């Protein structure tokens, strides 16, 4: 009886529109918008009002991102050494980012947030090494290696494409494969700092 009275009194103190799920932090809840903006930052150009409606990896990205790819600053992307493959695995929580492995010595933060990453280019049909995208600048640890200069655009970014259930360095098809995609590509490339010549350049 006492517990019930306490529960009622606590409920009376809460606002009428209180929702437990809405009170959770953004990092603990899956994002419903395009993952391209979450990965690249708020200035990244996405399809307006996009909402994720599928469970597959490609469904988490809007048409603009799927057609034109993503540009991520090279300071946030690193090659993962083979011996650390078992240590860096994407979380199954449904969100973009995974926290740095707790069983490894945590490096010094490069920002105010906890160190979080996204493992990419890791599926079976991908060519080349596994890569990590960090939410902030990559930490300095032995498991990580900077990318070769020929993988980087003139603007200091890494061009990534949605393919094979992950993000990869090379596009899955010529970006101007059909007229609609060509229009989308032209519109987006005119608004983001990416080298259009890099679109059809095979990196790995």
Q: What is the pLDDT of residues 172-194, one digit of tens each?
A: 544 444 445 555 555 555 544 44
Distance CA 56, CA 59 (A): 5
Closest C-alpha to 77, from 118, 21, 17: 118
pLDDT for residue 42 is more than 90: no
pLDDT band at 120 (very low <50, low <70, confident <90, very high): very high
145: helix, strand or coil: strand
Which phi and psi angles does 42 have, rounded to 5°? -65, -20
Q: Report the range of poorest mean pLDDT among 93-107, 150-164, 177-191.
A: 177-191
Alpha carbon of residue 43 to chain centroid: 14
Closest C-alpha to 128, from 92, 94, 77, 175: 77
pTM: 0.69
Under 8 Å CB-to-CB from 35, ≥6 apart: which residues?
52, 60, 61, 65, 96
Which phi and psi angles does 58 have, rounded to 5°? -65, -25
């Amino acid at each position: 009886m006492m517990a019930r009275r306490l529960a009622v009194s606590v409920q009376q103190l809460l606002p009428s529109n209180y929702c437990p799920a809405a009170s959770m932090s953004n990092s603990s809840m899956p994002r419903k918008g395009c993952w391209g903006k979450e990965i690249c930052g708020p200035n990244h150009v996405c399809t307006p009002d996009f909402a994720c409606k599928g469970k597959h990896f490609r469904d988490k990205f809007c048409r603009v991102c799927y057609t034109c790819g993503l540009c991520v600053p090279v300071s946030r992307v690193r090659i993962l050494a083979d011996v650390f493959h078992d240590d860096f695995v994407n979380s199954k929580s449904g969100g973009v980012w995974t926290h740095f492995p707790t069983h490894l010595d945590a490096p010094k933060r490069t920002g105010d947030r906890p160190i979080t990453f996204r493992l990419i280019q890791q599926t079976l049909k991908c060519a080349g090494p596994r890569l990590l995208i960090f939410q902030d600048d990559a930490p300095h640890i032995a498991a990580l290696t900077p990318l070769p200069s020929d993988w980087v655009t003139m603007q200091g970014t890494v061009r990534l494409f949605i393919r094979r259930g992950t993000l990869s360095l090379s596009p899955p098809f010529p970006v101007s494969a059909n007229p609609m995609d060509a229009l989308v590509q032209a519109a987006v490339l005119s608004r983001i700092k990416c080298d259009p010549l890099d679109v059809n350049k095979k990196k790995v």
